[in-house]
A and B are shown apart, each in its own frame.
Chain A
Amino acid sequence: MRHVGAIAGRELRSLFVSPVAYAVLTMFAVLAGFFFLLSVQGFREAINYYQQIGQIEALRELNLNNQLIGPFIQVMWIVFLFLIPGITMGLFATEKTNGTEELLMTSPVTMWELVIGKYLAAAAFVTLLIAMMAFFPSLLFLDGDTPILGLIFGGFDLADPDPEGLQTLAGLLGLWLLGLTYAAVGTFASSVTRNQLVAFFLALALLLVLWLLSVVADLGVAEGAGGTTSSLSAVLTWLSTSDHFDKLARGLVDTRDLAYFGFMIGAFLISTKTSVESVRWR
């Protein structure tokens, strides 16, 4: 595994001399800020709504984690859906167009070193994105009269005004795992084609299918009556990323969900290795 660092390092450096990394970082910062403001706005509206209908008890029950940070993390998946394929699309596709595939495959580098090195570069980028977006919820942890807290509460007392640190971290962990899974899917998509655009759209399609599997499962339950449909729908629901992610985003850490993300990352990296190797058998 001693070549992994060299391969990941080269990949990251190339990413940061290309405009793609900066375009993605800029878009991510803007979108994360936008969605955070939307979440704040939603929270304000909840306060106004309960105030108007005079539900003082409900008003006092409002909670920053469940009504603001959770929804913010949950909506960020859609940003990842579009941006992570943009990061991973070039991983293997450009090696083919540069002709550097022949350099890699004739060097004393194993397939696993190659695949893991590439993946770690993408994973490091995902980690950077998570660190960037963690800035927004961290604003809520500031003490005293800060403008952002004033904007949210507007003078109202909550029963529980302080956000929960661990619950927030659990949500970020969920988004990080989702990003790592998306990076594995994107790495695989890049390995099956020499065209970056194809890799981008293939990753997007795979990720959408993975997300929507649980919706398909729900439809199946509605139509079918027998026990067979429900076991199929259970499998589909388990395979789908959405339920696992939603639980984590709400702050519920369950080892079964963690295992799911580990399983998906492993499965797509094994597929990537097979796909890269297949060059030799064509």
Chain B
Amino acid sequence: MIEADGITKRYGDFVAVDGVSFTAEAGEVVGFLGPNGAGKTTTMRILTGFLPATDGTARIAGHDIFGDPLAARRAVGYLPETPPLYPEMDVTGYLTYVAKIKDVPRGQRKAAVESATERCGLADVHRRVIGSLSKGFRQRVGIAQAIVHDPKVLILDEPTVGLDPIQIREIRHLIAELADPEKAAHTIVLSTHILAEVEAICRRVIMVHEGKKVLDKSLAELTEGGESLEDMFARIILREKEEAA
């Protein structure tokens, strides 16, 4: 579903992302880990077509993100770090607009909006103006806009940041459901700082540090040795720092 091939992003002399390659299959949930400034957001922005890569490319559901950008974008749902919301619109109006610009055919739009509203638990607030919603609901509207066109690939940048524990649990439940091979079987890439989150929902972990991929393993492999994810994260990042010093 996702085939990233040597993605590199340079800003002048600074290398934000340095030759990151990975693949993710249908129904897979990949946790994107790394310290702040490791290049997680930049990589995600390249995969979604927001930024061009300096080098390398990726295919989303078989469409090259630079060769056939519109088809690739149709296959991606993206939740940026800040949910992209218009505060003055109501939830249904907003989701209908997103469905339009994401090329959901006219006849299916109403059903698509209703389904996304239902799955994200927004049925009770669908007539409310987004600006009046709580942060947890806004985050859900952000996820709803990412899934409204039923994309094959979902890219979520810190989907649970700033939420309370109950909301976090709900969002995690929703993500697990979206990846369920019996139901939607979305391929999901999500970035996070919360290691417990990775253990709870991801089947694979990709760790990036200073723009490079430093680890790519399934969760089962990682937890085999009995070492906690937190210790492992610290060990890898600190080792890199020592080597650099």
Contact = CB atoms under 8 A, between A and B. Distances in A.
A109 B103 CA distance: 9
Contact of A98 (B49, B86, B145): B86
A10 B88 CA distance: 11
A100 B85 contact: yes
A106 B101 contact: no
A14 B88 contact: yes
Contacts of A14: 86, 88-89
Contacts of A108: 70-71, 73-74, 101-103
Mostly helix, strand, loop or mixed at chain B's interface?
loop
Contact of B76 (A17, A106, A110, A281): A106
A103 B88 contact: no
Interface in B70-122: 70-71, 73-74, 76, 78, 80, 82-89, 93, 97-98, 100-103
Interface string A1-43: 0010011001001100110000000000000000000000000
B87 A102 contact: no
Contacts of A18: 88
A3 B82 contact: no
Interface residues of A, number: 23
B50 A102 contact: yes
A107 B84 CA distance: 12
A105 interface: yes
A161 B74 CA distance: 63
A103 B145 contact: yes
Of A14, A17, A103, A110, most buried by chain B (CB within 10 Å of CB) is A103
Nearest to A106: B48
Contact of B84 (A7, A103, A280): A103
A17 B84 CA distance: 19
B35 interface: no
Q: Which of A13, A100, A106 has the most CB of B within 10 A?
A: A106
B80 A99 contact: yes
B19 interface: no
Nearest to A17: B88
Interface string A176-207: 00000000000000000000000000000000
A58 interface: no
Contacts of A103: 78, 80, 84, 98, 145
Given A13-B93, A103-B145, A105-B49, 9 more contacts: A10-B86, A98-B87, A102-B45, A102-B78, A102-B84, A106-B48, A106-B50, A106-B73, A107-B73
Cβ-closest 9 pairs across A and B: A103-B84, A6-B100, A99-B82, A100-B84, A108-B70, A106-B48, A102-B80, A107-B101, A108-B73
